[in-house]
Chain A
């Protein structure tokens, strides 16, 4: 076999190997594909606190409320959904089976996001405002407005504390 023909064969062989390896590759999709807001509970001293007793959280929908947390004891945090199409969502906090209530109002944008054609779409959000009634809650502070796969703390809930 002439040297040029040999070189040609070698290059073609290498090309086929490269194509074979490339064909085995695949896109790495995010392991965590849940999009949810996250809020943690604090007192006035900026210490993390747990809710005394039970906490039930519902989201308000036109077709009826939906429970997202059911009588959780000593809750220290909450993962909450945000709607795909509404600009403001309302969460109802029910303490100790109905002894007290608070309503939380979360305003947000909705950003349909292309993760990749192999991993699908996800709805990300940006929280623009957060407020509440003040029966048990004192203040809401937006800590990190972007709601995506990162699972970062989005909102701090500051509770009244007994003096």
Chain B
């Protein structure tokens, strides 16, 4: 587990550092931020001044496709699709609403345990542009989310054989209701790939706040949270269209 966390931390560190080292894509730049005064040209405001200007700049509309790519590479077949709307406030604060749908209908090979669920999930939160002073459309952000889902799940498995008495106990849980609330810490990047079109990813550390009622061990996979009874890591890979409500680039 420690090795897994270490690998994720290294990837996160490299990923966070790479846009700082290559802010213009391929050209190695000195890691000295441009002076806001030097950036000011006649008739133009500096990025810092822009960050203090109009509050509402636009809306990012995103679709997360990672939830359908990830299961290709893992044995646990659970899927999710997600849409989000992010408001751009002074290119610095980004309140966000995310709505998704998660589902799984799988049978584990080792124990032949079948698990089925499907439900929508919701998250609200805020991101913070760590490079808002640069005034560029590509940026790194940190943020947080609160997630919620209400769902039902079903489990069926081979009967459990009592090793002492020799009896068999059937295993069939149908439409078990459950609600879950969790918190997420988010780190990600967003980069413009064409005018008003963006691509980006985020890494997420998810921590359960509430899960219940817990009956027969509780759910294994929670839509929006993932398959873990404890803290979990997640990721998103998003395609984004930006509705620009100001004349300047975000």
Chain A residues lying within 8 Å of B163, measured Cβ to Cβ, are: 81
The answer to whether A48 has its CB under 8 Å from any CB of chain B is no
**Can you give 21 contacting A-B residue pairs, CB < 8 Å?**
A3-B25, A4-B192, A6-B22, A7-B25, A11-B200, A22-B70, A22-B74, A61-B165, A63-B166, A68-B164, A110-B169, A112-B216, A114-B113, A117-B106, A119-B111, A120-B110, A120-B113, A121-B113, A121-B157, A121-B160, A121-B171
CB closest chain-B residue, reference A3:
B25
Chain B interface residues toward A at CB < 8 A: 1, 4, 7-8, 11, 15, 18, 22, 24-27, 66, 69-70, 73-74, 76, 106, 108, 110-111, 113, 115, 138, 155, 157, 160-169, 171, 173, 189, 191-194, 199-201, 203, 216-218, 220, 227-229, 233, 235, 237
> A123 contacts B160, CB within 8 Å?
yes
Taking a contact as CB atoms under 8 Å apart, the answer to whether B169 and A18 are in contact is: no
- A14 contacts chain B at the CB level, 8 A cutoff: yes
Q: A15-B237, A21-B4 are in contact. Are A7 and B110 (CB under 8 A)?
A: no
Bound complex: CA of A113 vs CA of B111, how far in Å? 13
CB neighbors of B among A70-114 (8 A): 81, 83-86, 110-114
Q: Which of A14, A61, A114 contacts B218 (CB 8 A)?
A: A114
Contact in complex: B160, A84 (CB < 8 Å): yes
Q: Across the two chains, which residue of chain B brings its CB closest to A19? A: B73
With A and B bound together, what is the CA distance between A6 and B138 in angstroms?
13
Q: Which of A3, A24, A61, A66 has the most CB of B within 10 A?
A: A3
Closest 5 CB pairs of A and B: A3-B25, A113-B217, A6-B25, A114-B217, A84-B162
Q: Which chain A residues lie closer than 8 Å to B27 at the CB level?
A: 3
Q: How many residues of A contact B (CB 8 A)?
A: 48
Cβ of A10 within 8 Å of any chain B Cβ, yes or no, is yes
Contact B218 A11 (CB under 8 A): no
Whether A114 contacts B220 by the Cβ 8 Å rule is yes
Q: Which of A18, A86, A117 lies in contact with B115, CB distance below 8 A? A: A117
CA distance A10 to B23 in the complex (A): 12
